[in-house]
Amino acid sequence: MPIPLLNLTRQTENLRPELERAARDVLRRGEFILGSQVALFEKEFARSCSARFGIGVASGTDALELALRALGVGAGDWVAVPSMTFLATADAVLHVRARPLFVDIDPLTYTMDPLDLDRRARSLGASGRKRLKAVVPVHLYGHPCDMDAIGVVARRHKLVVVEDAAQAAGARWKGRPVGGLGSAGCFSFFPTKNLGAFGDAGMVVTSSAKLDRRLRSLRVHGRGAGDLQAELGRNSRLDELQAALLRVKLKRLGAWVERRRKLAAEYTRRLLSLSGLVCPVEMPGARHAFHLYVIRSPRREVIRRALEREGIAARVYYPVPLHKQPLHRSANRGVRLPETEKACKEVLALPLFPELTMNELRRVCSAVTSA
């Protein structure tokens, strides 16, 4: 039997009666956009992040774009982002007409290196005319960034911090949930995420009442009190059906992350001693949410092909760092990010989802071992 990277049908089947009930209730109420289910989900999800407010939007990409805009990032500003991340992180920067400042990663966690952030912020500042306004740390694969060190650098350079927590629902830094650690935290509920909807959906969480108000306006065209439009916003709303279904799933998020961690620990126990292969680590202070289980090896392609022959899916996140993408290449010609460039050639994600069985996991491990 083939082993997929992720199987969503198993999760949906386990929850089918409850999901169907929630969906039927929405159809019966006939309220489809920004209704009571959205309001409840916003409250419940924000609480799970220890944040005061949650603002449901159409996707994780929109969450990032609107959070940056609500914090005043715009034309002429620069925003520090990692280059080893999904396209959306830097897209959001371009959408607000700012420019990305690509920062290297820590090679153990694949998350933004705070020392490199400091270095690059200093040299941008030294140019005199370029204004670095924000930093977007990405909790890649579910491992939280070192938010203490990033916070120190952000204060030094007066940067607002917008967390890209798209891959990290359920992760914690020093006991505190990610998303609630910066000025705003952005989540994606894309179906494959730790908390996945049945289509696109996203949320910004924040504890600032001012930011909450601004985001609620920006997601509906910039409409404010008295139906007056003070600025140009977007149409980026979360719909009732997604919110109702996500509420059913949110109750399980904690248990699912526990199961991911258990499977990850078993992978590591079985693979750790293989030479030439690096297993994911969990830094002190971090609680990894294991959105992905990513190994690293200079012989990645050999391993990937061997797994493929056994019917086991494995995938590279991400083969091309953003500063080398055609979209960003010309603006970043002299940029060198050695750890990012090396990691992108070596990382490989193995199958991981809460419903993966231990038997399947053992089959993946023996295929990796024989490769």
89 binds ligand PLP (CB under 6 A): yes
In the complex, minimum distance from the CB of residue 217 to ligand PLP, in angstroms, rounded to a whole number: 21
Comparison of 271 and 344: residue with beta carbon closer to ligand PLP? 344
Q: Which of 53, 86, 256, 318 binds ligand PLP (CB under 6 A)?
A: 86
Query: Residues 301-333, buried b or exposed e (16+ Cβ, 10 A)?
Result: eebbebbeeeebbbbbbbeebbbbeeebeeebe
Comparison of 98 and 303: residue with beta carbon closer to ligand PLP? 98
CA 234 to chain centre: 22
Residue 225 per-residue DSSP state: G
> What is the C-alpha end-to-end distance of the chain, expressed in Å?
19
What residues between 155 and 174 interact with ligand PLP by CB under 6 A?
164, 166-167
280 Cβ contact list (under 8 Å, min separation 6): 141, 143, 264, 268, 288, 290, 293, 294, 295
- Please state, in angstroms and rounded to a whole number, the distance separating the CA atoms of residues 272 and 365: 11
Q: Pattern of binders to ligand PLP over 42-81, x per CB under 6 A?
A: -----------------xxx--------------------
In the complex, minimum distance from the CB of residue 260 to ligand PLP, in angstroms, rounded to a whole number: 16
Report yes or no: 298 and 276 within 8 Å, Cβ to Cβ: yes
Comparison of 167 and 340: residue with beta carbon closer to ligand PLP? 167
190 binds ligand PLP (CB under 6 A): yes
Q: Which residue has the tokens 């941008």?
A: 124
Beta-ladder partners of 79: 100, 134
In the complex, minimum distance from the CB of residue 193 to ligand PLP, in angstroms, rounded to a whole number: 7
Q: Which of 26, 81, 88, 278 binds ligand PLP (CB under 6 A)?
A: 88
What residues between 135 and 154 interact with ligand PLP by CB under 6 A?
138
3-state secondary structure of 108: coil
Q: Which of 11, 83, 109, 188 binds ligand PLP (CB under 6 A)?
A: 188
Stretch that binds ligand PLP, among 41-49, 85-93, 115-123, 142-150 (CB under 6 A): 85-93
Comparison of 242 and 332: residue with beta carbon closer to ligand PLP? 242
Residue 334 per-residue DSSP state: T
What residues between 289 and 308 interact with ligand PLP by CB under 6 A?
none
In the complex, minimum distance from the CB of residue 69 to ligand PLP, in angstroms, rounded to a whole number: 16
Q: Give 49-96 as a DSSP string.
A: TT-SEEEEES-HHHHHHHHHHHTT--TTEEEEEESSS-THHHHHHHHT
- Please state, in angstroms and rounded to a whole number, the distance separating the CA atoms of residues 241 and 342: 42
In the complex, minimum distance from the CB of residue 269 to ligand PLP, in angstroms, rounded to a whole number: 27
Interface positions with ligand PLP (CB under 6 A)? 59-61, 85-86, 88-89, 138, 164, 166-167, 188, 190, 200, 202
